[in-house]
Structure 1
Amino acid sequence: MSAQDTALPPLAVRERTATAARDRRAGEPVAVSLRGLTKAFGDKTVLDGVDLEIHRGEFVVLLGPSGTGKTTLLRLLTGLERPDAGKILVPGQRTTVYQEPRLIPSKRVLANVTVGQRRTAQNRERAARSLAEVNLESKARQWPATLSGGEAQRVALARALVREPELLLLDEPFAALDALTRLQMQDLVGDLVARHRPAVLLVTHDVDEAVRLADRVLILNEGRFAVDVDIDLARPRDRTDPESLRYRAAFLTELGVGRTASPTTT
């Protein structure tokens, strides 16, 4: 593969894409605003003055090598961590889907979707509609132990969306699934996000997943965003399309995949 094949699209193309993306975002409220966000653990600074805005309806994917602060950033957005410096503005209505579905074994599927909500007929009806959206309406009375991994993760997604979040945080939610189920879940999440239009931040190590789903890809490295690029490709996206392959190759190169490590690397 040539150097041209592993580069992002030409600067002029990226500028046109970014301009089009800014125009689309202009009519949407800002859901996430980070200014000068800094977080350290001991003498290791994992986030070093990070700035970020995510608009309502925008699907942002965060990539980066292990240990670069992706999970820390997610925990800061959920409120599980506090920054050492900087400002975080996030909506009150936010939910998180994790790699594990985290269902309560002693509650049936419908009750898992409504967990933490008042026991009202209206909430049960909303939960039933949410299960229908993830194609699990027939499983409402089942126990979590009877579900497949993909079905359990769909219940977790229904539980997140029934709360009508303004911000949906996804922490490698498909990592434990088999390849076919992962693709199906990616399609489902893409459809649901387009329908409900929350702001989305997906943390993943899967570059193909990023290219398939993202409106915008960030790569976090050494405490800062090494890449912040809009992806303006038609949907559904074909992973064999030359432009998809170009983005994939460029992101892998930025992540150091296929490159010879520097002698000073430890």
Structure 2
Amino acid sequence: MTTPHTTTTRPDTVSPLAVSITGLRKAFGEKVILDGVDLTIRRGEFVVLLGPSGTGKTTLLRLLTGLEQPDAGEVLVPPARTSVYQEPRLVPSKRVLANVTIGQRRSRATREAGLRALAEVQLAGKARQWPATLSGGEAQRAALARALVREPDLLLLDEPFAALDALTRLRMQDLVGDLVARHRPAVLMVTHDVDEAVRLADRVLVLDRGRFAVDQAIDLPRPRDRTDPAALRHRSAFLAQLGVDRPHTDNPGSTS
């Protein structure tokens, strides 16, 4: 077995890569979760990760954040990286603006950056409110502002829309797509929703049995029409790979 090695490298203006993973292996006890994974993500690229539950999607995110260490292989990531989870994880005792700028040095510049981030996620009038007064979609937008105010080179999204109702989910997808296009971080998002993947991704990965079974570019114009024949072909192929081989309907749902 090779020696475990994780490196955090500062952003290099010459290199187009934000993430470089080589020979990644991770096991918990006797169970191997990731086995010889190789992955690169370019700066500004939106990559979506699909896969059945228990295949290691969240483990891969935790390795990229540094919360887990690999058993073998190399993980190169920028130091400026932030995460948004399924739950907003706002601090109830802090107002919305304080949540957005939490952990940063208190200054006029920090406050102004936080207010700009709130305006970007359409929460300009919510800075002084308490988290308990926000709707689910508003709370998740505040969590997104907290991630983006740090100007990350790598944004990690772990099923960030899963707890939202269908309409709010679509609006959040549009918002995230617009913000990523504007800020241009590298993005890795985990989801169980195939339609969401086709709608947002530049590339879709399907994780199966510890390795990527699919690494597919989605070269479709934006905004994307889910009824477009090319989008439907991608959708059908991903569903088949996930073992959910079913015909498209007028109201496609998510897979989980």
Tell me whether the two structures share a fold, i.e. TM-score over 0.5: yes
1:136 aligns with 2:123: yes
Q: Residues 205-224 of structure 1, C-alpha deviation per residue, up to 9 Å, x if partnerless?
A: 00000000000000000000
Please tell me whether the aligned partners of residues 236 and 245 of structure 2 are also in contact (alpha carbons under 8 angstroms).
no
State which of 41, 47, 51 in structure 1 corresponds to 2:28: 41
| 1:85 shift after superposition | 0.1
Aligned counterpart, 1:88:
75
* CA distance in structure 2 between the partners assigned to 1:63 and 1:195 by the alignment: 25
State which of 109, 129, 141 in structure 2 corresponds to 1:122: 109
State which of 38, 56, 81 in structure 2 corresponds to 1:69: 56
User: Partner letter of residue 174 of structure 1?
Assistant: F
Aligned counterpart, 1:97:
84
State which of 99, 110, 126 in structure 1 corresponds to 2:97: 110
* CA distance in structure 2 between the partners assigned to 1:212 and 1:139 by the alignment: 29
| 1:69 shift after superposition | 0.5
Aligned counterpart, 2:5:
none
State which of 179, 185, 203 in structure 2 corresponds to 1:192: 179
| 1:258 shift after superposition | 3.1
Aligned counterpart, 1:53:
40
* CA distance in structure 2 between the partners assigned to 1:228 and 1:193 by the alignment: 21
1:161 aligns with 2:154: no
User: Partner letter of residue 190 of structure 2?
Assistant: V
State which of 232, 237, 241 in structure 1 corresponds to 2:224: 237
RMSD: 0.9
Greater CA drift, 218-227 or 40-49: 40-49
Larger RCO: 1 or 2 (CA < 8 Å, sep 6+): 1
User: Partner letter of residue 142 of structure 1?
Assistant: Q
Give the ranges of 4+ consecutive aligned residues of structure 1 lying more than 4 Å apart after TM superposition. Answer: none
Aligned counterpart, 1:78:
65
SS at match of 1:131: helix
Equivalent pairs, count: 233
Aligned counterpart, 1:226:
213
TM-score by length of 2: 0.90
Please tell me whether the aligned partners of residues 28 and 57 of structure 1 are also in contact (alpha carbons under 8 angstroms).
no
* CA distance in structure 2 between the partners assigned to 1:187 and 1:35 by the alignment: 32
TM-score by length of 1: 0.86
User: Partner letter of residue 187 of structure 1?
Assistant: D
* CA distance in structure 1 between the partners assigned to 2:154 and 2:27 by the alignment: 25
